[in-house]
Amino acid sequence: MILELHDVAIRYMTGDFKEIGIKEYVIRKLKHNYTVREFWAVDGVNFSLEQGDMLGIIGTNGAGKSTLLKAISGIMEPTKGSVYREGTIAALLELGSGFDGDLTVKENTYLRGAMLGYTRKFMDKTYRDIIAFAELEEYEDRPFKQLSSGMKSRLAFSIASQVRPDILILDEVLSVGDGAFRQKSENKMREIIGSGATTILVSHMLQQVREMCSKILWLHKGKQIEFGDDVEAICDRYQNFLDGKIKL
């Protein structure tokens, strides 16, 4: 067992103090219309993964997929339940975030490596491969903010995939970048899966999920509809739901 989620639920508070700021808070308090609404974006998710699994998370917009990934990667604590993970974890969420625009591409690469728990020595050894894979040799001494968004995601993908985490989380990563890079990143993903890493992928491209994943988690409005290794059957039912043949 490399990852286990037990009854995970995540609540967002909307309109609370943190979101609206102090001025608005005081105004609303004085007018007696300060209300905080709670919203459960993820509610009651249970599943576990073994080493080498590739999980595909599917569900329509707002199903809770990205929110769940944040809890899995540790960016967010679940409001209820628990997430147990083993080994190193690298998450490619909101590509390009977590970088410092004013630092160079090289500095950012080392920084990201350190955030993933890798030593300077390891990064010295891996750095050239990271830059070569991202095809950013000409940019290594430029400030990160000068990269195009496609280049930023290439760098993020390259770092996460070259450093070989035990668990790799990808949020729609394979749909960014141009055609040539997409092919290259898909091949890299297969290599990572082949090497025994556990991978989690969120994708709206059902065909990609069918081809690459060994397990499927289907979320709808925060609830877990299905989880299992019968990829074809779950994807078929999800497709039927998308086509309006199944109601939830």
Ligand X SMILES: Nc1ncnc2c1ncn2[C@@H]1O[C@H](COP(=O)(O)OP(=O)(O)OP(=O)(O)O)[C@@H](O)[C@H]1O
The token pair at 124 is 């010295």
Q: Does residue 12 belong to the site contacting ligand X (CB under 6 A)?
A: yes
For ligand X, how many residues bind (rule: CB under 6 A)? 12
Which residue in the block uniquely carries the two structure tokens 């995970």? 8
Q: Does residue 41 belong to the site contacting ligand X (CB under 6 A)?
A: yes
Q: Does residue 17 belong to the site contacting ligand X (CB under 6 A)?
A: no
Q: Does residue 14 belong to the site contacting ligand X (CB under 6 A)?
A: yes
- CB of 218 vs ligand X, minimal distance in Å: 11
> Residues 63, 136, 170, 231: which binds ligand X (CB under 6 A)?
63
Q: Does residue 66 belong to the site contacting ligand X (CB under 6 A)?
A: yes
> 164 or 220, CB closer to ligand X?
220
Region from 64-72, 124-132, 159-167, 226-234 binding ligand X, contact rule CB under 6 A = 64-72
- For the chain, the three-class secondary structure string (H helix, E strand, C coil) is CCEEEEEEEEEEEECCHHHHHHHHHHHHHHCCCCCCEEEEEEEEEEEEECCCCEEEEECCCCCCHHHHHHHHHCCCCCCEEEEEECCCEEEECCCCCCCCCCCEHHHHHHHHHHHCCCCHHHHHHHHHHHHHHHCCHHHCCCEHHHCCHHHHHHHHHHHHHHCCCCEEEEECHHHCCCHHHHHHHHHHHHHHHHCCCEEEEECCCHHHHHHHCCEEEEEECCEEEEEECCHHHHHHHHHHHHCCCCCC
> Residues 24, 36, 44, 62: which binds ligand X (CB under 6 A)?
62
> Residues 7, 26, 29, 39: which binds ligand X (CB under 6 A)?
39
> 39 or 122, CB closer to ligand X?
39
- CB of 159 vs ligand X, minimal distance in Å: 23
> 63 or 163, CB closer to ligand X?
63
> Residues 8, 43, 65, 181: which binds ligand X (CB under 6 A)?
65
Q: Does residue 207 belong to the site contacting ligand X (CB under 6 A)?
A: no
